[in-house]
């Protein structure tokens, strides 16, 4: 029982800590911009359901911690629910009541009666806060650790693999893929993972001469120590840089910020490329994670961070840096998901506001109502799909057996 409890805490606690931190920053983005525009706010909640902790400040805002720690929200005055979904009849009644009680113009303190550009900025501030958080964390990470560039040199080739068929040889130094220069092993791995069944033209340096090789990566089932059981694209290359291939440099804060921005842009680009391949039917979506998958990953990186034999101070530092990296990745993911053009999510609100700005009138009430219902269905379907992926990747019965 102790082993089961310990393993469970190892997965759940890091997940909840990281998720709560990132959700808080996301909601603070909405909150601070709304406050800057003078919007009346009823509640700032981390978590859903009945309040575990609650306090009302001098401005009448309730600061709450809910007992279900899987999200959060800012409730603006006049909102009919926690998602700020408008109901036209309810808004008309609200406006009439506010004007009757406080006089004409008082309604301008309410979110839904603000100019469309202010509403758009308030909604966009949540995902923007996630990207800013990721940039800050990555900048801190690169400032402390620096940058290591490991040139992608081939160490071994799996027999009967796509790489073997393409003619790769040990010690080949990969210089470019499809004409785009690559400088680090991570770039090669990321390109292969996002290119299942797509021919890739590798330019390698062999005995000082350039050689072009065409390889088509294939998907295969793997047991990843962090992600679990996943179908992933592989070419059959093992990369291991020689000492002369590895460069390390310290970064000043400006350089670290630039490297952090590059990493964030690369991560966002890779994510959208993967989503595009899903819609094009080139990927199954196996790499999409729900809460279980994120919890598994959080536990996995925590175990890795504390698995080395080192003094406690070094282990704590390693754990902290690993947590920073994981939080940055999850924050980027949360920003991307919230920008998807699905009604109920921030991206869906922005689509409606974009229409309103161009057409000079709100989206018809009936269209909004249908859109939000469809959005809820899409969001529920996405969560179910991601959770099913999590269960498949976890190999649940094996996982539970390992915890016992």
Residues known to be catalytic: 27
Contact by Cβ (8 Å): 44, 64: yes
| 11 token code pair | 């997965």
Q: Which of 45, 50, 47 is nearest to 28 (CA)?
A: 45
Rounded Cα distance, 227 and 193, in Å: 14
Rounded Cα distance, 404 and 398, in Å: 10
* Distance (Å) of CA 66 to CA 54, 78, 130, 237, 280: 9, 21, 21, 48, 39
| 39 token code pair | 């919007």
| 390 token code pair | 């999590």
Q: Is the dihedral of CA 291, 79, 332, 12 positive or negative?
A: negative
Hey, which bits of 57-127 come out as E strands? 62-76
Rounded Cα distance, 298 and 329, in Å: 11
């Amino acid at each position: 029982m102790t082993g089961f409890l310990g393993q469970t805490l190892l997965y759940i606690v890091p997940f909840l800590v990281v998720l709560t931190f990132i959700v808080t920053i996301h909601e603070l983005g909405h909150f601070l911009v709304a406050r800057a525009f003078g919007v009346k706010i009823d509640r700032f909640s981390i978590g859903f359901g009945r309040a575990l902790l609650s306090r009302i400040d001098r401005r009448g805002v309730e600061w709450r911690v809910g007992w279900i720690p899987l999200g959060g929200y800012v409730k603006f005055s006049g909102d009919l629910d926690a998602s700020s979904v408008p109901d036209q009849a309810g808004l008309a009644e609200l406006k009439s009541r506010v004007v009757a009680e406080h006089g004409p113009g008082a309604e301008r303190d309410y979110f839904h009666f603000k100019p469309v550009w202010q509403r758009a900025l308030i909604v966009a501030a949540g995902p923007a806060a996630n990207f800013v958080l990721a940039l800050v964390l990555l900048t801190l990470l690169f400032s402390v650790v620096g940058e290591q560039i490991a040139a992608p040199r081939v160490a071994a080739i799996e027999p009967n693999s796509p790489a073997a068929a393409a003619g790769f040889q040990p010690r080949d130094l990969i210089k470019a893929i499809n004409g785009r220069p690559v400088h680090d092993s991570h770039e090669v791995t990321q390109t292969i993972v996002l290119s299942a069944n797509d021919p890739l033209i590798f330019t390698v340096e062999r005995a000082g001469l350039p050689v072009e090789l065409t390889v088509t990566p294939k998907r295969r089932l793997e047991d990843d120590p962090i992600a679990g059981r996943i179908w992933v694209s592989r070419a059959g290359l093992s990369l291991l840089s020689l000492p002369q291939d590895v460069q390390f440099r310290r970064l000043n804060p400006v350089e670290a910020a630039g490297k952090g921005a590059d990493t964030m842009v690369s991560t966002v680009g890779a994510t959208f490329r993967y989503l595009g391949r899903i819609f094009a039917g080139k990927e199954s979506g196996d790499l999409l994670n729900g809460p279980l998958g994120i919890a598994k990953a959080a536990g996995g990186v925590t175990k890795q961070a504390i698995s080395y034999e080192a003094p406690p101070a070094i282990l704590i530092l390693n754990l902290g840096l690993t947590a920073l990296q994981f939080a940055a990745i999850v924050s980027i993911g949360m920003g991307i998901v919230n920008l998807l053009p699905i009604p109920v999510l921030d991206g869906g609100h922005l689509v409606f506001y974009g229409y309103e700005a161009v057409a000079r009138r709100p989206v018809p009430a009936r269209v909004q109502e249908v859109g939000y219902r469809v959005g809820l269905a899409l969001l529920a379907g996405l969560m179910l799909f991601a959770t099913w992926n999590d269960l498949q990747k976890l190999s649940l019965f094996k996982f539970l057996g390992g915890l016992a």
